[in-house]
């Protein structure tokens, strides 16, 4: 999945925000957003294509933030339906 799209999807549907501490890594941050209690996961982009997020990274983030694959799949489909409709409209 393209990295920028994955970050938008996590933000829009799951309120998981991101920081780019390294060129090939993204820190996903979920609520609560306080420094003391921050829930985050550092994930790496695909080594062959740094503009994409490897499926293993997505799965580790889902597990960390207790997002089910079904919920992610539903959000993913809705996200891309919206993109497709925006291109058509």
DSSP string of the chain, one letter each residue: -BHHHHHHHHHHHH--EEEEEETTEEEEEES--STTT-EEEEEEB-SS-TTBB-HHHHHHHHHHTT--HHHHHHHHHHHHHHHHHHHH-
Asked if pLDDT for residue 62 goes beyond 90, the answer is yes
> In the chain, where are the structural domains located?
3-88
pLDDT digits (tens, 9 = 90+) for 1-59: 888 899 999 999 999 998 887 878 888 998 877 666 668 888 988 777 888 988 888 99
């Amino acid at each position: 999945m393209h990295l920028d799209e994955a970050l938008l999807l996590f933000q829009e549907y799951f309120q998981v925000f991101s920081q780019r501490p390294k060129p090939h890594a993204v820190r996903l941050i979920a609520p609560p957003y306080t420094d003391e209690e921050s829930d985050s996961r550092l994930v790496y982009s695909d080594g062959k294509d740094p503009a994409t997020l490897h499926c293993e990274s997505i799965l580790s983030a889902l597990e960390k933030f207790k997002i089910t694959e079904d919920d992610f799949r539903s959000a993913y489909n809705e996200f891309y339906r919206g993109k497709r409709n925006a291109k058509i409209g």
